[in-house]
Amino acid sequence: MRFLVMGPPGSGKGTQAAILSDMLQIPHISTGEMFRDAIKTGSELGELAAGYINKGELVPDTITEAIVKERLSQEDCQEGYLLDGFPRTLEQGKALDTILRDVGKNIDCVINLDVPIGDIVDRLTARRICGVCGAVYHLEEKKPLVEGICNFCGGSIVQRADDSEETVRKRLDIYLEATKPLVGFYQDKGLLCSIVGNLSIEETTHRIMEDCLEGMKQ
């Protein structure tokens, strides 16, 4: 089974992809992970990506697409995967179609987490991270055992600069503008399965399993 997981920042797509990866025993592949792995192995593509990342610039689509193709061609992806973070635009969606034709494996389902903007703003502005190890917390849903202190390394818990309300709303505007055509693209292909994502983590997983995965068997 090969899935694409979509959703705006703060929709919980990374959390759901990790849960589903464990349940279905297929790899969870995120754009960030692909970049880190390519850079760590010192591949030519990794070095090219690092040149942009280290300057704080976006990695060009041509390099991202090549890294995605390289990753999806690896042995652990032959029985399935969950792709998270790519594509983000209609152009990238069309490029992914080409990649999938080249590797001979089409996407079976696109899981789209649909969360109201107000809920996402509330989620992200209440998110906190450990400034040392990067562990993620939430002021309401996932508090640390000791206020302001990381459970894992004892580091200080802080708010990311891009989790301020103004920045969050700008990020959401950019996402919605870029991704709306992509949602229609997969809807026209009959691959889109939209899930209301403002439920609990457990209920969202249940809805995905029931509405998306079971729907594939019908």
Closest by alpha carbon to 27, among 106, 75, 70, 80? 80
Residue tagged active-site, from 2, 13, 71, 128: 13
Q: Which two tokens stand for residue 208?
A: 């995905």
Please tell me the distance from the alpha carbon of residue 73 to that of residue 66, in angstroms, as a whole number. 11
Residue tagged active-site, from 88, 105, 142, 169: 88
Q: Which residues, other chains included, contact 2 with Cβ-Cβ below 8 Å and sequence gap of 6+? A: 80, 81, 83, 105, 106, 107, 108
Residue tagged active-site, from 2, 123, 127, 128: 127
Cα angle 196-202-205, degrees, rounded to a multiple of 5:
55
Over its C-alpha atoms, the chain yields an Rg (Å, rounded) of 18
123 an active-site residue?
A: no
Strands 28-30 and 81-84 come out as: parallel
Please tell me the distance from the alpha carbon of residue 175 to that of residue 117, in angstroms, as a whole number. 11
143 an active-site residue?
A: no
101 an active-site residue?
A: no
**Sign of the CA dihedral running 137, 138, 140, 146:** positive
Catalytic residue set: 13, 88, 127, 160, 171
